[in-house]
Structure 1
Amino acid sequence: MELEQVAPELRDAVARLGGVPLERRVGRAIGRIAPRLMRWPREPGVRIGRARVGGVRVRTYAPPEVRSDAVLLWIHGGGMLIGAPAMDDHFCSETAARLGIRVVSVDYRLAPEHPFPAPLDDCARVFAGLIARGHARIALGGQSAGAGLAAGLAQRLLDEGGPQPIAQLLDCPMLDDRTAADAARDDEAHFVWDNRENRLGWRSLLGQEPGAPSVPAHAVPTRRANLGGLPPAWIGVGSIDLFHDEDVAYAERLRAAGVDVDLLVVPGAPHGLLAVAARSALAERYRRAAQEWLRARL
């Protein structure tokens, strides 16, 4: 992929991008430890803390003024392999302050050491723990792999028949292992997250090669046949993101199943806009769109 395909205001940030060798244990270790050590931008006045909910470690964001009893259960990205809740301090603290809600970000177990269903189990335990604490109105949200887990959690909760989330906010979600199985996409060299990395992430999560005839229920959101009954969804993705096609297809299938969906495609944006160029005007408009959609659901 050529840099000219990237939106002009994002090109400098994309050109500076580096990477870590995720296929190597040392590379994954860097991608797990570094986010916990870095000082990430955060919204002034928001109290950030650590706790356990449902026995799972979480990062919490409390606004200066709580204006709603709703909670956003957030799930960080990292391709199922790396990442930590702190890397989303900017979005989570800003969302807490702008909407006047509490945000709880899950520190879930990572593959390949902890394959499916461990990551989803952790997220489900946090949801159940919030319900047990009296939080009846919970929105699910996440970025990339975390957004894929959020979508899978919404499906699992629907099948279990208990308390349901009121919304799902999915930022460039990782939804379909069959994208990784398509080797023709390898040559396109997508920025930020390419198909070789995608294949490694899905293989690590599923414990098998992506694209197999069958996968465990709730592991791959797009494999679900019936999407009816799921909560309203906001799906945002860049036009040059590897996940663009699968995200748009999922949005269309949700709509066809009667689910209220707001789809935002950002021209010239690569994967992970909020992480790659958080201070850009394009990212600010993207965050605002997601937050205002969530405000309306609350």
Structure 2
Amino acid sequence: MGFSRRDFGRMGGAALLSALAARGGTALAAGAGRASADPLAHVAPELRASAQQVLAMMASMPGFNDATIVEARKGGAAFVQPPLADVPVMERKVPGSRGQPDVAVQVINARAGGSRPGILHTHGGGYILGTAKGEVRPLQELARTLDCVIVSVEYRLAPETRFTGSVEDNYAGLLWMYRSAAELGVDPKRIALLGESAGGGHAALLAIAARDRGEVPLVLQALIYPMLDDRTGSTRQTPPFIGSVGWDAKANRYGWKSFLGVEPGGADVPAAGVPARVEKLEGLAPAFIAVGGIDLFVSEDIEYARRLTEAGVPAELLVVPGAYHGFDRMAADTPQARQFTGAKLNALRRAFGQPAV
């Protein structure tokens, strides 16, 4: 089974890590050494072909270290999809938070004079990889589907920048979007957050920052298989079939260590960098959380939805049986991916006051 450029182009977050590792032999491993005897045994039948391709790419990888990140980032840039011609995109530099540098953002489907919904997007990549520019094509498609404006933040990556810096980058992007609503054609009362994997973790942290600072109202935090808890795979082990395809415990430990600057799972982890460690969740924006049933993040995502619900925050949770991390991009035409994507779109539509489909 082979992968085409189109296949690489639609991959995001952890799925791309695996592809880069297989492609160059110098990128990052995301699954070796932890799979059950048959890693496909718990994968939904419709997803097994794509899961097998991911596993094939993961067969010979050297593992994570700081030196491989530079090569991985270069490799990822080679597979960026060309943008759509009919959905406008512009890159802007916006003011950073106090004491922080200016931040680049990708602005998609903006049109002055309108009053359309807006999405502040944070990309995936384990906190160590990925770019906002690399997500332009799928975000154009999303903006066209929902007739909305999307701002995607080029936040600084770990380990060069810890969570304190990247969280401020994302907040700067959100605050600029809100204050520039008229210029962008955004309704400032209909702004949602959206992020996948580590971007979902960033979206959760951003929702907390927005609540605490009280400057930007939000209608939704859409967290797509979000990376929320540093203890997963470090001090909290999962069954071997969980995370056996794609992003695994070893990858998770490295991503969190890079992001936090300390070993994950311990008592010295700064709670401000880990959504699952934040004690008070009351008053947050309503949440939509979606994850696959064999994704490494499934238990932490279920737990976060439970805590939000018990804190009085409306939270919708979708767990797709037999689905691995990033399956919605790797196997977009399967029933599971269509269900997953449809639920995400309808959650955003409801938050925007649009009819569900």
TM-score, with normalisation over the residues of structure 1? 0.91
Please name the residue that 2:232 is paired with: 179
The DSSP-based 3-state class of the residue aligned with 2:272 is: coil
| Structure 2 residue aligned with 1:49 | 90
Distance 1:117 1:97, change over 3 A: same
Letter in 2 for 1:51: R
In the alignment, which of 87, 90, 114 is matched to residue 161 of structure 2?
Answer: 114
Are 1:75 and 1:141, in contact at CA under 8 Å, matched by a contact in 2? yes
- 1:290/1:65 CA distance change after superposition, 3 Å: farther
1:180 is paired with a residue whose SS is coil
CA contact (8 A) 2:262 2:269 kept: no
Q: Secondary structure at the match of 2:93?
A: strand
> CA separation in 2, counterparts of 1:128 and 1:280?
37
Question: How many angstroms apart in 2 are the aligned matches of 1:46 and 1:33?
Answer: 26
Q: What SS is found at the alignment partner of 2:232?
A: helix
CA shift at 1:63, angstroms?
A: 7.4
Query: Equivalent residue for 2:53?
Result: 16
> CA shift at 1:157, angstroms?
1.6
Change (3 A) 1:105 1:146: same
Q: CA deviation at 1:249?
A: 0.5
How far 1:270 moved relative to its partner? 0.5
Asked if 1:267 is matched to 2:321, the reply is yes
| Whole-angstrom distance in 2 between the partners of 1:5 and 1:90 | 32
Q: Please show how residues 206-217 of structure 1 align to structure 2 within 5 Å.
A: 206-217=260-271
Q: Which moved more, 1:107-116 or 1:23-32?
A: 23-32
Work out which of the residue numbers 279, 287, 293 in structure 2 matches 1:233. Answer: 287
In the comparison of the two structures, how many residue pairs are matched? 298
The residue that corresponds to 2:81 in the other structure is 40
Structure 1 position 291 matched with structure 2 position 338: no
Q: Does 1:92 align with 2:139?
A: yes
- Give the distance between the partners of 2:130 and 2:87, measured in 1 at CA: 22
TM-score (norm 2): 0.77
Partner of 2:223: 170
Give CA deviations for 1:169-205 in whole Å, capped at 9, x if unaligned. Answer: 0000000111132364495562110000000001111
Separation in structure 1 between the aligned mates of residue 327 and residue 263 of structure 2, nearest angstrom: 28
Distance 1:66 1:24 in 2: 48
**1:93-116 superposed Cα distances (whole Å, 9 cap, x missing partner):** 222011100111111111111112
Residue 56 of structure 1, CA deviation: 1.1
**Is the radius of gyration larger for structure 1 or structure 2?**
2
Quote the offset at 1:89 in angstroms.
3.8
- CA–CA distance in 1 between the matches of 2:288 and 2:40? 28
Given the alignment of the two structures, is residue 77 of structure 1 paired with residue 124 of structure 2, yes or no? Answer: yes
Percentage of identical aligned residues: 38
The Cα of 1:26 is off from its aligned counterpart by: 4.8
Superposed displacement of residue 22, structure 1:
5.7
Summarize the Cα distance change of 1:277–1:259 in structure 2 as closer, same or farther, 3 Å threshold. Answer: same
Counterparts in 2 of 1:271-282, with a 5 A limit?
271-282=325-336
The one-letter amino acid of 2:89's match is I
Deviation at residue 163 of structure 1 after TM alignment: 2.0
Could you tell me how far 1:88 is from its partner in structure 2? 3.1
Deviates more, 1:257-266 or 1:47-56: 47-56
Letter in 2 for 1:95: L
**Aligned residue number for residue 6 of structure 1:** 43
Q: Which segment is superposed worse, 34-43 or 283-292?
A: 34-43
The 10-residue stretch of structure 1 (136-145 or 85-94) with the greater mean CA deviation from structure 2: 85-94
Deviation at 1:75? 0.6
The separation in 1 between residues aligned to 2:133 and 2:324, in whole angstroms, is 22
Quick check: 193-202 or 108-117, which moved more?
108-117
Q: Which amino acid aligns with 2:339?
A: R
Cα distance in 1 for residues equivalent to 2:111 and 2:222 = 23
The alpha carbon displacement at 1:80 in A equals 0.6
Question: In structure 1, what is the Cα distance between the partners aligned to 2:157 and 2:285?
Answer: 26
